[in-house]
Structure 1
């Protein structure tokens, strides 16, 4: 079960912040609403601890979980027939190795070899990053895989492939393990440290994934638009240790032993190499000129769909244009073209949808149009919103280049300060982002519509929620803030795209289905 708690002290702080705001822009923060695991101590869920882990068990084992840095992440390969693996190890090996078999005893298993390279230093200890790609996977087949960790073969785990002509994936928003830092749990009178917050959020992450997979066993893989963790860390070794605690909590979810995940770089992920050391992404766009420390955008296909994952913390739109064009050129027959990115250039949250979140809007909108993108999946604003079908209006706009120099997704103070201090600039900035046309306002099922459909996902863990912006934007078809963890299930066939979004506890839809048919 999921229970949310209001923090009265946090509400007072928000009220004072609002009262002290300068000009037309308030500096917003997480609301008093969050998902407090201590409110349901008797609830049990499957975790790395046991099949039925309650809150006390999880807390008792947290120190082991958070320091288990050597967990495996499965990632979709460059196409349906491939699967990527990434994991840390304490020992340096000549090569990273994974075995794939058709039986749990791994008889006649085939070995696939990759690279083991110097990775992250955690608490003074050098860890190594292992990356392998396995291929030859067939539709609707059960396989088993084993990784070699520190010279020893680990437990074999099951991996089932789906149908590339009719598949489903789970789309989640900002798990952000550790983001409930500063909240006061029901079981304590003290604000949570980031470590304690990670413990809370990682337990709730297990709840969401387990509930979703029980309610929708047809899910084949997971897509996250970023912010897997909360601590940006940067060059601070102590904070980097906290960040790795959060990655351990995130990756500890038992669902990930069998479920591939395709994750974008969020602003909280972008300042260290940990993201690229944990996740072995397919087709990384290394030609990116302004990449962040975390790595690059990438792309892959799954059946008739092309997925292009943009690192929108990089404010150089030319890099994203080059990535999209490269992915489209290499996959000209893809029926569906889907972009995944962290910043919501068309969202409806109070914190970002009229400020840093839209800094790339008037540049990316025409790029997506020119390359016939169908859908853009976004995060960042910790609220739910979906748009009408949108197109570029074809006009030229200010790209605000001077506010991007030396800035990125986790540091946009130059823009923030200007918006905060200059109301005339705020109005101009808003006017320069009215760069779209609403091409189709139909709801339900659309046939061969013009334009691009944009989605913004709410928090999948409840670690942090934001308010909706006061005035709903004209491009928004539906939006909500339920203050509860949610997730979406997207089904794709060769001629239909359908998205449904659900409450993570009850499985109840929070919005009507939206479908696009191509004929």
Structure 2
């Protein structure tokens, strides 16, 4: 077996050669979640072909600026005379409802994106709502708030609806992702719904979802509607109309406006932007969440966003950052190459702003780090546009492949190696989520990096459940194998004995 450095260098060289030839191909494996083996598949294909794939008007719930607010976004047919409206009630018959109005912007041809925020939400309450599209109220749906100060979240990575393209199903069909025939999206949307249903059946008190990017797969530019069928599959999942989802912009989301038209993210900083949008943040109970668009490599802007978030909510017990690119992961495809382009710049920022946990995606493998800190030395900064799109504006496909690049990225120290958790620890925990749908998997890098405590690749959809209160952050990670749920890592806990951060 090649050494880690030689293996990574050989892989990068092969990637460069393929990219220069005009056909960059990832080392995606033959493993994927084949939905055609499920007994509900035939009924799903009829539903997908007849309705779901054509319905771009599904609603998305996202966290508001704090736990008492909730944001809504949905497409409707273009109608400049209609004011977007959501009605909220504590009664299932929608009696004594409160109406909230919002604004609309032009979306893809023939559609507008509607955005509304509701406020004054109470904890431990079931709410019913309906929204107006094309002048008519939707069917009544519901969502439930839980304890604001002690709650659970579902953390997932890379649903990437449509990424199973090119795989062959149990029925001998090769999955495609053409705009008009996206059988890959059909396969992956089924799996996404199955993962959410499985996770929620086991954890019915989840407050919201954290998705570490790549909601969809198809890279299209600007306002090209070519990925709308994949967003339709993502938003069609049963729980999406009842669970807020906080999403990160992944490299597959980054080049297209549809992301920001489907998700009404709070506290939009207008920093760290790509075509899809930029950095945002919100508070929920004892935690501050900062979501950075690391497809933009301007870390000065990311620092501005982090500073703005901390100044807005200075006294939260926990600070959690979510990014797509894994600056500390263990997957073969990214963790020692483009994933760490921002490591030298972001690691000191996690120290400076006292970040407890960083949630990552991108590498389609699972890993958990030790607690890490910056080594406080000066290191080179690297700027390179995401290689997934092979559009480096500087002209080189992947310029950082030499030993000095690897040496500069040894910019961390391992602050704590306790395996089950840490009390009043110093440093930042870095989590890497495997694919929640199994639409695409990567290999682990051959040699486990010294900063990695635990890692795995079992070729099954995974999800994590995070429990948080004023004193504890705890995470459990599961895989769905053969219809059964099983843990793939021990519970890991961060504890703080002080009542508040300051």
Is the counterpart of residue 227 in structure 1 residue 214 in structure 2?
yes
Is the counterpart of residue 373 in structure 1 residue 361 in structure 2?
no
- In structure 2, the partner of 1:205 is 192
Is the counterpart of residue 417 in structure 1 residue 398 in structure 2?
yes
- In structure 2, the partner of 1:33 is 31
Any unmatched runs of 5+ in structure 2?
1-9, 19-23, 498-502
Distance 1:347 1:244, change over 3 A: same
Map 1:135-146 onto structure 2 (within 5 A).
Answer: 135-146=119-130
1:68 counterpart (47, 51, 55): 55
Q: Which whole-Å CA distance do the structure 2 matches of 1:146 and 1:182 have between them?
A: 39
2:44 counterpart (58, 61, 64): 58
Q: Which whole-Å CA distance do the structure 2 matches of 1:411 and 1:108 have between them?
A: 54
* 8 Å CA contact retained: 1:390, 1:439: yes
Map 1:475-514 onto structure 2 (within 5 A).
Answer: 475-504=451-480, 505-514=483-492
- 1:440-466 alpha-carbon deviations (Å, 9 max, x no partner): 001113100000000000000000000
Map 1:315-394 onto structure 2 (within 5 A).
Answer: 315-394=297-376
Cα shift at 1:108: 1.2
- In structure 2, the partner of 1:259 is 243
- In structure 1, the partner of 2:254 is 270
Please state whether the residue corresponding to 2:465 is helix, strand or coil: strand
Cα shift at 1:235: 4.8
* 8 Å CA contact retained: 2:260, 2:277: yes
Map 1:162-201 onto structure 2 (within 5 A).
Answer: 162-194=146-178, 195-201=182-188
* 8 Å CA contact retained: 1:145, 1:158: yes
Cα shift at 1:159: 1.1
Cα shift at 1:104: 1.3
Cα shift at 1:91: 3.1
- In structure 1, the partner of 2:100 is 112
Distance 1:162 1:189, change over 3 A: closer
Q: What value does the CA root-mean-square deviation take over the aligned residues? A: 2.0
Q: Which whole-Å CA distance do the structure 1 matches of 2:450 and 2:361 have between them?
A: 19
Distance 1:20 1:273, change over 3 A: closer
* 8 Å CA contact retained: 1:313, 1:408: no
Cα shift at 1:213: 0.2
- 1:169-203 alpha-carbon deviations (Å, 9 max, x no partner): 00001000000001111112545345010000000
Q: Which whole-Å CA distance do the structure 2 matches of 1:435 and 1:193 have between them?
A: 40
Q: Which whole-Å CA distance do the structure 1 matches of 2:175 and 2:117 have between them?
A: 43
* 8 Å CA contact retained: 2:223, 2:258: no
- In structure 2, the partner of 1:45 is none
Q: Which whole-Å CA distance do the structure 2 matches of 1:348 and 1:357 have between them?
A: 10
- In structure 2, the partner of 1:279 is 263
Cα shift at 1:426: 2.0
Any unmatched runs of 5+ in structure 1?
1-16, 43-53, 420-424
> TM-score, normalised on structure 2?
0.91
* 8 Å CA contact retained: 1:76, 1:82: yes
- 1:489-510 alpha-carbon deviations (Å, 9 max, x no partner): 0000110000000113422111
Is the counterpart of residue 21 in structure 1 residue 14 in structure 2?
yes
- In structure 2, the partner of 1:218 is 205
* 8 Å CA contact retained: 1:273, 1:293: yes
Q: Which whole-Å CA distance do the structure 2 matches of 1:415 and 1:265 have between them?
A: 24
- In structure 2, the partner of 1:4 is none
- 1:284-333 alpha-carbon deviations (Å, 9 max, x no partner): 111x2x51010111000110100000001001001110000100011111
Please state whether the residue corresponding to 1:99 is helix, strand or coil: strand
Cα shift at 1:21: 3.4
> TM-score, normalised on structure 1?
0.88
Distance 1:118 1:24, change over 3 A: closer
Range that drifts further, 449-458 or 437-446: 437-446
* 8 Å CA contact retained: 2:223, 2:256: no
- In structure 2, the partner of 1:313 is 295
Cα shift at 1:427: 1.1
- 1:419-438 alpha-carbon deviations (Å, 9 max, x no partner): 4xxxxx52111111100000
1:517 counterpart (472, 488, 495): 495
2:64 counterpart (77, 85, 93): 77
- 1:349-373 alpha-carbon deviations (Å, 9 max, x no partner): 0000011111100000001100000
Distance 1:360 1:507, change over 3 A: same
Q: Which whole-Å CA distance do the structure 2 matches of 1:428 and 1:458 have between them?
A: 29
* 8 Å CA contact retained: 1:178, 1:229: yes
Please state whether the residue corresponding to 1:35 is helix, strand or coil: coil
- 1:241-272 alpha-carbon deviations (Å, 9 max, x no partner): 3x100000000001111111000100000111
